[in-house]
Amino acid sequence: MHRTYSLRNARAPTASQLQSPPPPTSSTKSKFFGKAGIASSFRKNAAGNFGPELSRKLSALIKLEKSVLRSIELVARERREVAKQLSVWGEDNDDDVSDVTDKLGVLIYEIGELEDQFIDKYDQYRITLKGIRDIEASVQPSRDRKQKITDEIAHLKYKDPQSPKIPVLEQELVRAEAESLVAEAQLSNITREKLKAGFNYQFDALRELAEKLALIAGYGKALLELLDDSPVTPGETRPAYDGYEASKQIIIDAENALASWTLDQAAVKPALSLHHTVDDVYEEGEEAAAEEEWAEEHEKA
């Protein structure tokens, strides 16, 4: 966690980061706070209007995903500010409220940190989709060439059926179709490869964020149990607060739980009604075997 017991200590790498080193900082992160709104609006209006026709739809998706990441970046920043302000507000309250709000600030600040890390991991999905977009753009010229030759042949057959250019164009069309077959096969293969890899990045990032948020929520509720919310009558004094060690231990436990969490230890797993099992989804060896089996079945079909 970014802080240990209050808002000052730096954190060591977590088990998840050691198992899978964090990706580079997302290219979507704004350098100047507050400029994302104009850029986001422009991207939404311009998405899909430029570039080769074949790649426009995916280009629009990639641009919109950039807006999503900018929005998450804003939320992460605001959440860290909320955590600081919660601690500032609670400081002047009674001892129990002061201690608990400071520790809650630690947990909420950590949520902002996790969201910031999520942006970098989510961006790996977006970058992977760019690989599909690039191959789509490279395939467009071969499609255009084939269509152009086809149109020329049709025009000549209508205008001058005996034209000597027709056999020449038909030979060019055969070559263009052969080139197009290669390009289309490459597009098909890369689309499936990168689509699968990209959404694996996204779902792994979502899974890590969701499970760590659930852990933080649990430790946050444990902190709230330290507050004595029984009503007092005017003039009555509450018992002295003695939860400092307990609140400190809750933060330590939260820190250890988050630092040691890895994808292998994820608690939530899907209940699949298909012939696939959970291990097919999450175990690398099982997944490869399942893919091979599916490919064989597909070839037979």
Q: pLDDT (tens digit, 9 = 90+) per residue, 79-96? A: 999 999 999 999 989 999
Structural domain tally of the chain? 1
Tens of pLDDT along 29-43? Answer: 655 444 445 555 555
- By three-state DSSP, how is residue 48 classified? coil
Q: What is the CATH number of the domain that holds 131?
A: 1.20.1270.60
Is 203 within the bounds of a domain? Answer: yes
Taken in order 258, 259, 262, 267, the sign of the CA dihedral is negative
- Answer whether residue 284 shows pLDDT above 70: no
- CA angle centred on 198, ends 193 and 202, rounded to 5°: 150
Tens of pLDDT along 108-156? Answer: 999 999 999 999 999 999 999 999 998 888 887 777 777 887 888 888 7
Is 280 within the bounds of a domain? Answer: no
Is 278 within the bounds of a domain? Answer: no
Non-local (6+) Cβ contacts of 278 within 8 A are 269, 270, 271, 272
Of 36-40, 94-98, 208-212, 263-267, least confident by mean pLDDT is 36-40
CA 287 to CA 278: how far, in whole Å?
Answer: 10
Query: How much is the pTM?
Result: 0.70
- Answer whether residue 170 shows pLDDT above 80: no
Domain range enclosing 123: 15-30+37-229+241-270
Is 234 within the bounds of a domain? Answer: no
Asked if residues 106 and 251 have their Cβ atoms less than 8 Å apart, the reply is yes
The two tokens of residue 54 are: 């074949």
